[in-house]
Amino acid sequence: MKKLVLYNSLGRELQEFVPIEENKVKMYACGPTVYNYAHIGHMRCYVFEDVLRRILLRDGYSVKFVMNVTDVGHLDSDSDTGEDKLKKQSTKEGKSIRDVAMFYEKDFFHNFELLNILSPDIVARASEHIKEQIKIVEEFIEKGYAYKLEDGWYFDTSKVEGYTCLNCVKDDGVVQDRIKATDKKNKADFAVWKFSNNGGEYEWDTSFGRGFPGWHLECTAMSMKYLGNKFDIHMGGVDHIPVHHTNEIAQAKALTGDVVANYWLHSGFLIIDGEKMSKSKGNFYRITDFEEQGILPLSYRYYVYGFAYGKTASFSIEALKAADNALKSLYNFETKIHFIKDLDISIDCDKDAEEKLESFVEEFDKCVHNNLDMPKAMEVVWNFVKFVNLNLLKISPSKIIDILLDFDKVLGFGFSLDNPISQEIIELGKQRFSLKKSQKYEEADSIRDKIQEKGYYLEENKEYFVINRYHG
Ligand code: AMP
Ligand code: ZN
């Protein structure tokens, strides 16, 4: 396998990736809380996770990818106070919690389709893993890791050695004063079970009281159920470092004595006007918001590649439009190569030029394996395009397409093996080309108009023609 270097938040350093089992990778991503529409901030995180998964697949690993969906237990303070985000939304919309969850979950996965993000192998809903979560709380109580307060059962963080191993704070059991409850033994202690007895939806009876699970518990229960006590990679946004992932590590340590995953990877925030884009602040865009401006959903994927994944990225429509133009140029380039291939234009193969192509693949490889350096990887893609354009009729188009498809295993732009322009339009182009050759210009121009009416653009020279979908 190729050497892959990743920035591990656990240890805060670049480390070579070594899987637990040879040729296999088990990875877990914290999924959405489905109480509102998915926005492009979330999608930055899921595109990053998708790129990592694609790199591993391209390298030949068999990958098992599990993602949770939070439909219960995430309170609106993001800690242990306030109302359940889904319950609150269900009251607002006058719908059942399940209907609210299903509606926004569907919207979330629609974003995956629009962005060509590979579906997880397993999607695990918190509300469908209550039995597993109850069992863990029972074990915490039995082993003395959980204690009871008026509003629920709390996890005693002082019982876990190295509680703050993921966080930068010294190991003094105080991460931050995120909960007001004065009765807690340690400020960082968090709820694993909250009491609730409204006779409503999403409450469960247990031997330790009726209620619902704490937010962090679901990821421990579901990651360990599907990936085992120890797996390779755990991912999420940077906001998960100090609380959610810290608490997941503590819970699993209480169960097994070990850190549950070897590599903890975090993607940076997408900010807008200096603030984190978030559902609760309402300062967000959805992918579908750009449709009217003719911006392709996949251009957001391109946009994300402009930033190192762990760093904060600032969003602007202008930059997204620039990404959209660049992606459309790439599609036009892809189409051009298909035309050169399909029209059987004579190629005067130059060995040196063909050999040089390999160096672009090597460079691309180096970049993506260097902690997913996508800004540099995209530079390589453009250098490749420039080089091909300069040597267009000296390189076998099939070779160029093979390389584009290989890059696309990581990029996910949807390049294709066959010409993306429909056969009907290609035939029109062929007719015009031969009419022009026979100097029947009037007829040739009427066909050109037909092609343009259908929204395509012709690019012609003496040797060949190309029909593009996009202005470029
Ligand atoms: P949530 O649905 O709020 O639990 O978030 C789902 C995932 O999206 C988490 O991993 C968050 O860290 C991530 N996320 C939320 N907002 C942003 C943002 N503005 N930029 C980047 N990632 C985000
Ligand atoms: Zn999680």
Q: Is 75 in contact with 85 (CB distance < 8 Å)?
A: yes
Report strand pairing: 231-237 vs 211-213.
unpaired
In a structure prediction context, what are the per-residue pLDDT tens digits for the chain, which is 472 residues long?
Answer: 999 999 999 999 999 999 999 999 999 999 999 999 999 999 999 999 999 999 999 999 999 999 999 998 788 776 777 888 888 899 999 999 999 999 999 999 999 999 999 999 999 999 999 999 999 999 999 999 999 999 999 999 999 999 988 875 444 444 444 445 568 999 899 999 999 987 778 999 999 999 999 999 999 999 999 999 999 999 999 999 999 999 999 999 999 999 999 999 999 999 998 998 987 788 899 999 999 999 999 999 999 999 999 999 999 999 999 999 999 999 999 999 999 999 888 889 999 999 999 999 999 999 999 999 999 999 999 999 999 999 999 999 999 999 999 999 999 999 999 999 999 999 999 999 999 999 999 999 999 999 999 999 999 988 899 999 998 6
Q: What share of the chain is helix, strand, coil (3-state, %, to 5)?
A: 45, 15, 35
* For the CA of 31, the nearest atom of ligand 1: 6
Q: Judging by DSSP bridges, how do beta strands 211-213 and 190-195 pair with one another?
A: antiparallel
Ligand nearest to the CA of 266: 1
Output the CA 233–ligand 2 centroid distance in Å.
13
Atom 14 of ligand 1 has which residue's CA nearest to it? 42
**Three-state DSSP class for 122?**
strand
CA–centroid distance, residue 210 to ligand 2 (Å): 23
Measured distance CA(178)–CA(80) in Å, rounded: 8
Whole-angstrom distance, CA of residue 232 vs CA of residue 52: 13
Element (H, E) at 5: strand 5-8
For residue 70, the one-letter residue type is: T
CB neighbourhood size of 398 (10 A): 11
Pocket test for ligand 1, best of 37, 47, 89, 239 (most atoms within 8 A of CB): 239
Which residue from 27, 39, 42, 271 has its CB within 8 A of the most atoms of ligand 1, so it is best to mutate? 42
**DSSP summary character for residue 244:** I
Q: Calculate how far, in angstroms, residue 197's C-alpha sits from the geometric centre of ligand 2.
A: 26
User: Does residue 239's CB lie within 6 angstroms of at least one atom of ligand 1?
Assistant: yes
Amino acid at the residue 194: K
**161-164 contacts at long range (C-beta below 8 A, 24 or more positions apart):** 161/253, 162/253, 163/188, 163/246, 163/250, 164/246
Distance, CA 46 to ligand 1 centroid (Å)?
9
**C-alpha pair distances (Å), 160 with each of 165, 181, 183, 219:** 10, 20, 19, 18
39 alpha carbon to ligand 1 midpoint, in Å? 9
Instruction: Evaluate: CB of 73 within 6 angstroms of ligand 1.
Output: no
Beta carbon of 265 within 6 Å of any ligand 1 atom: no
Which ligand sits closest to the CA of 272?
A: 1
Neighbours of 269 (CB within 10 A): 19
Cβ–Cβ contacts within 10 Å for residue 207, how many?
Answer: 8
> Whose C-alpha lies nearest to ligand 1, atom 11?
237
> What is the predicted pLDDT for the residue at 84?
86
Q: Tokens 């100090």 belong to which residue?
A: 242
How many C-alpha atoms does 267 have within 13 Å on its Cβ side? Answer: 27
CB neighbours of 33 closer than 8 A, spacing ≥ 6? 70, 71, 74, 85, 86
Question: Where on the phi/psi map is residue 442: left (φ > 0), alpha (ψ -120 to 50), or beta?
Answer: alpha
Instruction: Please report which ligand is nearest the Cα atom of 261.
Output: 2
Q: End-to-end distance of the chain based on CA atoms, in angstroms? A: 39
Give me the residue label for tokens 């990958």.
63
Instruction: Give the 3-state secondary structure of residue 459.
Output: strand
Per-residue confidence (pLDDT) for residue 92, from 0 to 100? 92
Amino acid 234: pLDDT = 98
Tokens of 413: 């732009």
Half-sphere exposure of 335 (CA within 13 A, CB side): 24
Exposure string over 369-384, b if 16+ CB within 10 A, otherwise e: bebbbbebbbebbeeb
Rounded to whole angstroms, what are the CA distances from 35 to 96, 98, 191, 289?
12, 10, 21, 19
Residue 336 beta carbon below 6 angstroms from any ligand 1 atom: no
Q: Specify the 3-state DSSP secondary structure of 225.
A: helix
The finding on whether 29 has its CB within 6 A of some atom of ligand 1 is no
How long is the chain? 472
Q: Which two tokens stand for residue 255?
A: 């169960």
- 3-class SS at 83? coil
For ligand 1, whether the C-beta of 240 sits within 6 Å is yes
